[in-house]
Amino acid sequence: MLIKRLNDETELRLLEVRHSESLFILTDESRTYLREWLPWVDFTKTISDSKQFIEGTLQQFSSNNGFQAGIWYKGKLAGVVGLHKINWANRSTSIGYWLGEGFQGKGLMTNAVKAVIEYCFSELKLNRIEIRVATENDKSIAIPKRLGFQEEGCLRDAEWLYNKFVDHYVFGLTKEDYDKINVVM
């Protein structure tokens, strides 16, 4: 997935080093908002930090172990969606995502995650996708629910988030479930 057009205003593009400044500015502008649920925000202090992140994601992509794509809305970077890594032996992966504060409420993330799901099942031929979300992060919880994932359980104290542990819901979607959802639509 190098570029995927979602509609007239939105596309997914593989993050490249040339996007480092845009990524840093988006992160910096939404720092307080993002910090509530994302543990890496405090470690992103400079454009160089964003560049290092992107370089790592390009290595991930070249190793056939997933990708990170920018969500571009009306020509501006709005957020990031991607695969944490791919377990090829079990044909499974997990999706992570975040959106800048000013881009909320436009359906961008739902459409982006839907495109990633389609890519995982049709192009990568995976069988299972997970999304893990902090149990109090209602906006992020809405995404897998909206897209037909099943809530499979709760992982207690799954993540250290600045000053406390938070629990995570685990949502799963199999290829079989996805095919049934698409037949109904």
- Residues 153-174 have a mean pLDDT of 97
Given a cut of 80, whether residue 74 has pLDDT beyond it is yes
Mean pLDDT of the chain: 95
Given a cut of 70, whether residue 94 has pLDDT beyond it is yes
Given a cut of 90, whether residue 181 has pLDDT beyond it is no
Measured between alpha carbons, how far is 66 from 84 in angstroms, rounded to an integer? 7
Name the H helices within the chain.
20-29, 31-35, 47-62, 108-122, 138-146, 175-184
Q: How many CA atoms lie within 13 A of 70 on its CB side?
A: 25
pLDDT value for 88: 98
pLDDT value for 182: 79
pLDDT value for 34: 95
Domain boundaries, the chain: 3-184
- Residues 88-101 have a mean pLDDT of 98
pLDDT in tens, 4-47: 999 999 999 999 999 999 999 999 999 999 999 999 999 999 99
Measured between alpha carbons, how far is 87 from 173 in angstroms, rounded to an integer? 15
User: Among residues of the chain, what percentage have pLDDT more than 70?
Assistant: 98
pLDDT value for 95: 98
pLDDT value for 184: 57
Q: What is the DSSP letter of 8?
A: S
Pairing outcome for strands 128-134 and 3-5: unpaired
Question: Closest Cα to residue 52, out of 76, 17, 18, 85?
Answer: 17
What are the φ/ψ torsions at residue 178 (nearest 5 degrees)? -60, -45
Given a cut of 90, whether residue 124 has pLDDT beyond it is yes
Given a cut of 80, whether residue 141 has pLDDT beyond it is yes
CB 98 within 8 Å of CB 91: no
- Does the domain formed by 3-184 have CATH 3.40.630.30? yes
- Residues 153-172 have a mean pLDDT of 96
